């Protein structure tokens, strides 16, 4: 269910997407979103999640176990999007794209994982085109599964919603070897994400 305070985020995301796509429909979101100010009221909290033992399918049709996907030897960031979304998802995906760009040669040392909330539509082919749209570099995967599996994953991350149109803007981050996740609810700027990642890269 959509919370009362979600309105500004959804409206802001929709307006940002419409404005940028009008002026530069060939990838403006991925190019410019990192220069916008932070979204209102980004909430940062720390949580532990008990993840299910499930296998997902990547944009390259590779079967990947969730625990292996999100527990590599590098920092990992997770978000929840779907390819036909026109509000929250373009902003989240632009943030991932800009993060990789800002990291430069270090981009390969950070794992980005986008989990679909619309598995009925988001096939590997659709997900691959979506990543290409945002100029994704190696290290950013988009994964899907059957509806039951995806719902288990979303519930485990406390990201489940019965209607994809009411999903929340969430980015989860975890440092290698740690059980706790940083949960960002809202639209952090690229600089804010970069700061979080730099902190996770510290020895």
Give the model confidence (pLDDT) of 88-102 as tens digits.
999 999 999 999 999
CA distance 160 to 167: 8
> Which parts of the chain register pLDDT below 50?
1-39
Q: pTM of this prediction?
A: 0.81
* DSSP string for residues in 78-104: EEEE-TT--SHHHHHHHHHHHHHHHHG
**pLDDT on residue 8:** 44
Q: How far apart, in Å, are the Cα atoms of 151 and each of 59, 69, 156?
A: 19, 17, 8
Per-residue pLDDT at 33? 37
Looking at residue 40, its pLDDT comes to 56
> What is the per-residue pLDDT for 7?
47
Give CA–CA dist 96/30, Å, rounded.
8
pLDDT one-digit tens code per residue, 151-162 = 999 999 999 999
Secondary structure (3-state) at 31 = helix
In the chain the domains, ranked by start, together with CATH numbers, are 4-201 (3.40.30.10)
């Amino acid at each position: 269910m959509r919370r009362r305070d979600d309105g500004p985020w959804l409206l802001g995301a929709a307006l940002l997407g419409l404005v940028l796509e009008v002026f530069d429909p060939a990838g403006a979101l991925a190019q410019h979103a990192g220069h916008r100010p932070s979204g209102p009221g980004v909430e940062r909290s720390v949580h532990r999640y008990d993840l299910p033992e499930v296998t997902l399918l990547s944009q390259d049709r590779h079967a990947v176990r969730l625990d292996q996907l999100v527990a590599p030897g590098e920092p990992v960031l997770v978000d929840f999007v779907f390819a036909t979304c026109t509000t929250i998802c373009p902003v989240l995906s632009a943030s991932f794209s800009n993060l990789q760009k800002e990291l430069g040669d270090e981009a390969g040392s950070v794992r980005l994982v986008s989990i679909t909330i619309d598995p009925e539509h988001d096939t590997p082919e659709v997900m691959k085109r979506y990543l290409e749209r945002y100029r994704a570099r190696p290290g950013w995967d988009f994964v899907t599964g059957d509806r039951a599996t995806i719902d288990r994953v979303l519930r485990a991350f406390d990201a489940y919603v019965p209607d994809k149109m009411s999903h929340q803007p969430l980015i989860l981050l975890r440092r290698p070897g740690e059980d706790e996740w940083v949960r960002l609810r809202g639209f952090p700027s690229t600089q804010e994400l970069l700061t979080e990642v730099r902190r996770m890269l510290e020895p």
